[in-house]
Structure formats: C-alpha cells, structure tokens
C-alpha cells in the first residue's frame, strides 16, 4: 500500500478512529487502526469487538492499493507532531512508513489479515435523522446513563423508533432523561434497542463536524446491532457500528410523575449561574443544594460545616405552596445545560418527590431529591 494524503484530513480521521481502539487487549491488532487503500480512497477501521468505526477519506492519491495495520497511539502521535501539509504512507505486511519533508518514521505493526471484520453499511433498511437533530438527542440523554452499574441496560441509551418519531431515554437510577425527535422512513411497527454509552459517544464524535451541514444520518437497527452512516465529512463518510446491550430497560413511563401541585418557570442562564455559585461551597460529603421556592423568588443555598455557606436569590414565576427541596447540584447543572430555550419549567409534587424539568413537550428530565442538612 502506498498513498499520498492531506495530513490534516488524515489526522482528523485518526482522532475519530482512536476513540474506538481497545486500550487494553490481549489481541495486539485491537490496539491498531487498519488502513485500507483503494481507488482514490483511504478507509480507516478500528474496533474493540463491541463498537467499530469506518472512516472513509475520499480524493486520496492512491499509488498502490493494499492494507496496513498501525498502532493507533503511535500513528496519532506522529501525525500531531508533523507540520507538513502532505505526507506519504507506505505499508507492508508488518510495518508502515510515514514520510514528510525532513522526517521519516518506520512503525512496526501487525498483519492486516489479523484485524477483525468491521461491517459495512447495509444496502437497504435504513431510516434517517438529521445530523444536528441526532446530536441534540444524544447530548440530552448520554449524560444520564450509568457509569458503573451491574444492570447493563442502564449503561446505554434506549432507542424507540416508530414511523416518523424517535425517542431516546437514559437513566442511572437517580435521574432520567427523555427526548423526542423526528425521523424519516422509520419502521411501521415500533422497534426498540439499547445502544451502549461508548457507541453513543462515538456517534456524537462522528457527527461533531458535520452537524452544521444538516445532512441526514442513515441508521439501520438490527436485532443485535446498529449501524449509522454520517453525511460526508472531510470528503468521506463515517460508519459507526455497535452491538446492542442485551437487557431490559426500566419502564420509564412509570417513574415520570404525571400530576403536580407546584410549578416554576425559570430563566435557564440565571438558574445555571445560581446553582454554580451555590455549588462552590459543597463537597463530596455535603453534595447538595437547597432550592427554596416562595412567592416569585427562588433561593439556592448550600452549607458545609468546614467550608461555609452560600445563598443565591433569583426571580422566578412560581405557582403553589412554598417548597424547600434538595438536589445534587451537578445533576441540576447537567440537565439545565442541555436546555436550548431561554426558560424551562421545573415541576414538583412535594419536597420528597422527584422534580421534573421540561422544555416544551420534547425534553423531560426527572431528578430524585437528596437530603440537605
């Protein structure tokens, strides 16, 4: 394999592929990125056997077709340090040579034949979601997934696709985030899948620099896996693959309160600022802030014996009896940061009941209260 390519374009592709590479694996090939050179195209492949990525880079000067397998960390490090606009990459069975003006690297790798299969995108069966819409759906749910949980279903995001509607739901048992969006060519009968958190982060990364183009993302949801094909980026497409989580997602409708007797409308930025200030005087042992609603005012307070106390006031539109309820400030910030509107609604049924943040009918976030001494 021999190819002449734009260094910046290749570096961006390697950055995306490196997010999939297995950090620790008994199989050396899983720590590598496979380079495939075909007619006017280079494809980068990476997988950890659960999640995979194909990064297609078009309009490349392919002087000799073939494959190479390069350790991802070394390839990424070399590309970052080079300053040349154009570089030449040559690969044989066990080594890859990278040449730029004034620099040459010979990197030992593995046999490309040892690299696992990374699926290509199917020819049929896809539905589509606009790239910027999908990024928004991911950003409003991914943060609420469980980071470590023996209930593996909580380590992913539930997808529900039905006709022209797509719903994503995530929970870690202490909070739940639900967001609704639109799709085209969705299945006539509802399909569900639990997509791992790592795959969701990979999809968001793949779409980070194409969402502004507002192109459609093609998605195929199978019985055991999901594949997504991005709109063209840097002259090529990115195809993300992931196995689905095998488990049962909680019945989220059962944990979303339906009736409220107290409701507040808050300015998004003002609320974020108030919670950030109050959180300055909290620690891991006293990880909570109090929200005290009375009249048309919200007072956000925190108190830590060894640090001191904070009291922040802001105006709100509030209806109902006075309320004093405690929450983890980071959870409040996580939810409010993904609100796109200038205001949102915070609804309650009592000081010991979950609070519900809503933005219109599309975004719902449920938070369990905490005890604040």
Is residue 214 included in any domain, yes or no?
yes
pLDDT reported for residue 212: 60
> What range defines the domain where residue 315 resides?
256-367
User: Residues 248-298: pLDDT tens digits?
Assistant: 999 999 999 988 999 999 999 999 999 999 999 998 777 899 999 999 999
Give me 51's structure tokens: 């999640």
Is residue 271 included in any domain, yes or no?
yes
Give me 277's structure tokens: 């200030």
Q: How far is CA 65 from CA 38, 56, 148, 214, 221, in A?
A: 5, 15, 43, 33, 32
Across the range 67-71, mean pLDDT stands at: 96
What 3-state DSSP class applies to 17?
A: helix
Q: Please indicate, yes or no, whether residues 223 and 153 belong to a single structural domain of this protein.
A: yes
Q: Please indicate, yes or no, whether residues 216 and 296 belong to a single structural domain of this protein.
A: no
User: Residues 110-144: pLDDT tens digits?
Assistant: 899 999 999 999 999 999 999 999 999 999 999 99
pLDDT reported for residue 26: 81
Q: Please indicate, yes or no, whether residues 246 and 329 belong to a single structural domain of this protein.
A: no
pLDDT reported for residue 48: 94
Last residue of a domain, one of 219, 253, 287: 253
Q: 373 pLDDT exceeds 80?
A: no
The mean of the pLDDT values for the chain is 93
Q: How is the beta sheet containing 165-171 ordered, strand by strand? A: 191-196, 156-162, 165-171, 175-182, 363-367, 355-359, 343-348, 262-267, 317-319
**Structural contact between residues 1 and 90, judged by C-beta atoms closer than 8 angstroms:** yes
Q: What are phi and psi of 33, to 5 degrees?
A: -110, 130
**CA-to-CA distance for 324 and 140, rounded, in angstroms?**
27
pLDDT reported for residue 32: 95
Residue 316 sits in a domain of what CATH number? 3.10.150.10
Last residue of a domain, one of 253, 288, 322: 253
pLDDT reported for residue 350: 87
Is residue 286 included in any domain, yes or no?
yes
Q: What is the 3-state secondary structure (H, E, C) of 85-150?
A: CEEEEEECCCEEEEEECCEEEEEECCCHHHCCCCCCCCCCCCEEEEHHHHHHHHHCCHHHCCCCCC
Residue partners of 347: CB distance under 8 A and separation at least 6: 257, 260, 262, 263, 264, 355, 356, 358
Last residue of a domain, one of 114, 148, 182: 114
Q: 149 pLDDT exceeds 80?
A: no
Give the range among 79-93, 201-215, 249-263 with minimum mean pLDDT: 201-215
Q: 33 pLDDT exceeds 80?
A: yes
Q: Please indicate, yes or no, whether residues 152 and 97 belong to a single structural domain of this protein.
A: no
Give the range among 117-121, 313-317, 334-338 with minimum mean pLDDT: 117-121
**Structural contact between residues 93 and 127, judged by C-beta atoms closer than 8 angstroms:** no
Confidence class of residue 148 from pLDDT cuts 50, 70 and 90?
confident
Is residue 330 included in any domain, yes or no?
yes
pLDDT reported for residue 232: 80
Is residue 285 included in any domain, yes or no?
yes
Q: Please indicate, yes or no, whether residues 83 and 132 belong to a single structural domain of this protein.
A: no
Q: Please indicate, yes or no, whether residues 248 and 289 belong to a single structural domain of this protein.
A: no
Is residue 119 included in any domain, yes or no?
no
Task: Give the predicted TM-score (pTM) of the model.
Answer: 0.92
User: Residues 157-179: pLDDT tens digits?
Assistant: 999 999 999 999 999 999 999 99
Q: Please indicate, yes or no, whether residues 156 and 246 belong to a single structural domain of this protein.
A: yes
Q: Please indicate, yes or no, whether residues 80 and 139 belong to a single structural domain of this protein.
A: no
Is residue 120 included in any domain, yes or no?
no
pLDDT reported for residue 284: 79
Confidence class of residue 372 from pLDDT cuts 50, 70 and 90?
confident
Q: Please indicate, yes or no, whether residues 90 and 150 belong to a single structural domain of this protein.
A: no
Split into its structural domains, the chain has a count of 3
Q: 213 pLDDT exceeds 60?
A: no
**Structural contact between residues 55 and 234, judged by C-beta atoms closer than 8 angstroms:** no
Q: Please indicate, yes or no, whether residues 77 and 186 belong to a single structural domain of this protein.
A: no
Q: Please indicate, yes or no, whether residues 207 and 303 belong to a single structural domain of this protein.
A: no
User: Residues 47-67: pLDDT tens digits?
Assistant: 999 999 999 998 789 999 999
Q: Please indicate, yes or no, whether residues 279 and 354 belong to a single structural domain of this protein.
A: yes
């Amino acid at each position: 394999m021999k190819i002449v390519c734009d260094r910046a374009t290749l570096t961006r592709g390697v950055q995306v592929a490196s997010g999939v590479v297995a950090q620790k694996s008994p199989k050396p090939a899983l720590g590598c990125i496979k380079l495939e050179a075909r007619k006017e195209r280079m494809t980068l492949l990476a997988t950890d056997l659960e999640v995979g990525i194909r990064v297609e880079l078009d309009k490349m000067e392919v002087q000799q077709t073939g494959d190479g397998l390069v350790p991802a960390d070394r390839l990424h490090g070399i590309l970052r340090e080079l300053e040349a606009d154009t570089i030449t990459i040559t690969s044989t069975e066990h080594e890859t040579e990278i040449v730029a003006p004034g620099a040459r690297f010979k990197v030992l790798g593995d046999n490309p034949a040892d690299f696992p299969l990374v699926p290509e995108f199917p020819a049929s069966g896809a539905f589509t979601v606009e790239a910027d819409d999908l990024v928004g759906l991911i950003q409003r749910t991914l943060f609420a997934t469980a980071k470590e949980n023996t209930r593996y279903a909580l380590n992913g995001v539930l997808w529900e696709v039905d006709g022209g509607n797509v719903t994503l739901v995530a929970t870690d048992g202490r909070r739940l985030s639900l967001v609704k969006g639109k799709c085209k060519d969705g299945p006539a009968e509802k399909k569900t899948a639990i997509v791992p958190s790592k795959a969701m982060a990979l999809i968001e990364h793949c779409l980070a620099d194409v969402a502004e183009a507002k192109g459609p993302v093609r998605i195929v949801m199978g019985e055991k896996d999901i594949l997504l094909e991005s709109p063209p980026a840097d002259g090529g497409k990115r195809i993300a693959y992931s196995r689905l989580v095998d488990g049962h997602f909680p019945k989220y409708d059962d944990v979303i309160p339906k009736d409220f007797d107290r409701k507040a409308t808050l300015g998004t930025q003002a609320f974020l600022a108030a919670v950030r200030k109050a959180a300055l005087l909290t620690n891991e042992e006293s990880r909570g802030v109090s929200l005290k609603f009375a009249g048309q005012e919200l007072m956000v307070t925190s108190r830590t014996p060894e640090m001191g106390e904070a009291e922040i006031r802001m105006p709100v539109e509030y209806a109902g009896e006075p309320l004093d309820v405690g929450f983890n400030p980071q959870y409040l910030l996580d939810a409010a940061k993904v609100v796109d509107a200038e205001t949102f609604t915070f609804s309650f049924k009592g000081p010991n009941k979950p609070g519900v943040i809503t933005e219109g009918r599309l975004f719902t976030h449920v938070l369990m209260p905490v005890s604040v001494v």
